[in-house]
Amino acid sequence: MSWLNNAIRDLGFYEKGVWRDFIFIIFGSFIMAVGVGVFLVNAKVVPGGITGLAMAIHYLSGNTLPVGFMLWLFNIPLFIWAILELGKKFGVRTFLGFTCSSFFIDFLRGRVPGFHHIRLHENPMVVSLMEKDFLLLVLTGGVLLGIGLGIIFKFKGTTAGVDVIVAVAQKRWAVKAGHAFMLIDSMVVTFAGIIIHLKNLAADRPALTLTLYAFLLLFISARIVDTIIEGFDYARSAMIISNHPDKISKIITKEMDRGATALEGRGIHTNQSREVIYTVLSKKEVRDLVEQVKRIDPQAFVIVNNVHEVLGEGFRPRF
């Protein structure tokens, strides 16, 4: 059975934390599926990518072909491509991500055999939002989509689709990821808008309006994905240039109980050497630091930046 152990090891199943990653990928897939299957499909607001393409084919078939199944079907060749180009570990996480999201979309819409009674998109709350507050419906779907994708990406998974295309394009042709995502998503959203217009699927709202909603959705979900991956700003870094570095350093280390580093700097105009104090603080401590610096040296130069991740004593690590 050594070949089996070697195969499992090659796929990364023995890596530390891998099962935690798998659990969160499944959870993220479910959140994403709620956003797409419950809120966006019937609204006919397409999120772009392969998910958007699956929705477009769903509309083109007269709602006969399930969105989740089409999503899974489209992702199979991309999954094979990912394994060949990016390795087995990428393939396992990709397969888990797009299979779970595809299953959950159809499951929540009652398209899985034996679970036809589960049709959350027909819930009275969702129907009411569709009729009375369409913008909130779209925003809810976009937020859930972004949160789900963010969780999946945070734990080293993907949902295949455009992620695979962009990853391979970066590796083989050095294509910029942002440009590739923008181009593909724009093409999918436009294609879906044309289908909705030609088949007259949105009697209450023009297809162009739904297309504009789709582009808004792309922006919202992308921002949320970035926030989930990078984290909320829970700390600040400060660089301080002052004529009284010793006094300021003492305030930071003694009174605020934070670490600080003195960097060697030289003024370009004055050609004078100075110490630059660098420190990382919680958001609540920044105001106190600035006030203390102003008190000690009103002429001090202070730069404060957002910090998404801090590893070290005094700060909680992220996942």
* Winning range, highest mean pLDDT, from 43-52, 66-75, 87-96, 223-232: 66-75
Using the predicted structure, report yes or no on whether residue 7 has a pLDDT greater than 80: no
Alpha-carbon distance values, 242 to 36, 262, 276, 306 (Å): 53, 12, 8, 21
| Confidence band for 214, pLDDT divided at 50, 70 and 90 | very high
Using the predicted structure, report yes or no on whether residue 3 has a pLDDT greater than 50: no
The answer to whether 124 touches 196, Cβ cutoff 8 Å, is: no
- Token pair listed for 297: 């040296």
| Confidence band for 206, pLDDT divided at 50, 70 and 90 | confident
> What mean pLDDT do residues 48-66 have?
92
Using the predicted structure, report yes or no on whether residue 10 has a pLDDT greater than 50: no
Pairing type for strands 273-282 and 235-241 reads antiparallel
Residues contacting residue 33 through CB under 8 Å, at least 6 positions apart = 68, 100, 101, 103, 104, 105, 107, 108, 148
Domain boundaries of the chain, sorted by first residue: 2-230, 235-307
The answer to whether 146 touches 222, Cβ cutoff 8 Å, is: yes
Please, which contacts does 207-210 make with residues 24 or more away whose CB atoms are closer than 8 Å? 210/43, 210/44, 210/45, 210/46
CA distance 189 to 216: 11
> What mean pLDDT do residues 235-257 have?
90
- Token pair listed for 295: 């008190």
Alpha-carbon distance values, 274 to 91, 187, 265, 271, 300 (Å): 52, 54, 5, 10, 12
> What mean pLDDT do residues 264-283 have?
86
Residues contacting residue 192 through CB under 8 Å, at least 6 positions apart = 44, 46, 52, 53, 55, 56, 59, 211, 214
Using the predicted structure, report yes or no on whether residue 166 has a pLDDT greater than 80: no
Average pLDDT over all residues of the chain: 84
Least trusted range by pLDDT, from 63-77, 113-127, 166-180, 282-296: 166-180
What number of CA atoms fall less than 13 Å from residue 191's CA on the CB side? 20
Using the predicted structure, report yes or no on whether residue 163 has a pLDDT greater than 60: yes
206 phi and psi angles, rounded to 5 deg:
-60, 150
Q: Which residue has the higher pLDDT, 317 or 184?
A: 184
Angle between helix 49-60 and helix 67-86 axes, rounded to 10 deg? 140
Q: Tens of pLDDT along 77-101?
A: 988 887 887 766 667 888 889 999 9
| CATH number assigned to the domain covering 235-307 | 3.30.70.120
CA proximity to 97, closest of 137, 45, 150, 168 = 150
